[in-house]
Structure 1
Amino acid sequence: MFAVIEFDESCGAGVAVVRNEWLTPRKRECFWPPHKDSSKFQKIIKQGSDITETWQLYSVSRVFYETADYDQAVKKSKIGEVTSNLQWETECTRKGILKRRLYTSTDESENENLL
C-alpha cells in the first residue's frame, strides 16, 4: 500500500508518495530513506525496504490518499501539489440543486390568517 502525505511546515511542507509501512501507527510521522539518488529512491518505494537506523523521522501534517496502486498514488501526489483536498477532487459528486417552492396567492392569504 502507498500513501500520499503532506509533510509538516517544519519539514518543508512538501507532498510525497510513501509506503504505508513507513508511517508510524498514528500516521503523524514518516520514516524517510537516506537515498539522494532518484532511481534508488524509486526502487525502494516500489519494492519496499525495511526501515533502518539511517532513516530519518519527519512530521506529517496529513495523509491525503491511500491506495495499493503506485501509479495512482503518483497521480494523486501531483494533484496534491496544486490542491489541498484530494478526496474531493475525484470522489465527491456534484450536489443537486435545491428546488424553490413557488408561493401562490392562496398560500399568502393562509399565512395572513395565521397572524
Structure 2
Amino acid sequence: MALMINNNLFGENEEVEQQDQSSRFSHDLLVDEDEFSFRSSYIDEEEVAMLFERENMHLPRQDYLMRLQNGDLDPTHRRDSIDWIAKVVDYYDFGPLTAYLSANYLDRFASVNQLP
C-alpha cells in the first residue's frame, strides 16, 4: 500500500510540475505572439512603395500581350503549357498560388526569350 501512495504522490507532483511548465510556456508564447503580430502588422509607406516597385520586376514585358494577339507568339503553346502546369498542380496537390506563379514565370520567360 505504501508503494501505491508513493506512486500517487509522484504522479500528483508530476502533474503540478507539468502544469507549471505549460503555463510558463504558454505565457512566453503569448508574449512572443503579441510582439510578432505587432511587428508584422506595422508596415510603413516606404515599404509599401518598395513592394509596388518590385512588382514591376515580376511582370511580363509590356508588349507581351500584343505579341500573343498578333501571332508573334503561338498562343496554343502557352495554352498547352498552362494545361500541363494545371495537371502537375493537381497531381501533386499544390495550392492555387503555385499555379499562378508558374503561369507568371512562364509568361515572363516567354516575353523576354525567343522561342523556336
Instruction: Give the structure with the higher percent strand.
Output: 1
TM-score, normalised to structure 2's length?
A: 0.27
Higher relative contact order (Cα pairs below 8 Å, separated by 6+ residues): 1
Larger Cα-atom Rg: 2
TM-score for both structures, normalised by structure 1: 0.28
- Report which of the two has the higher share of helix: 2
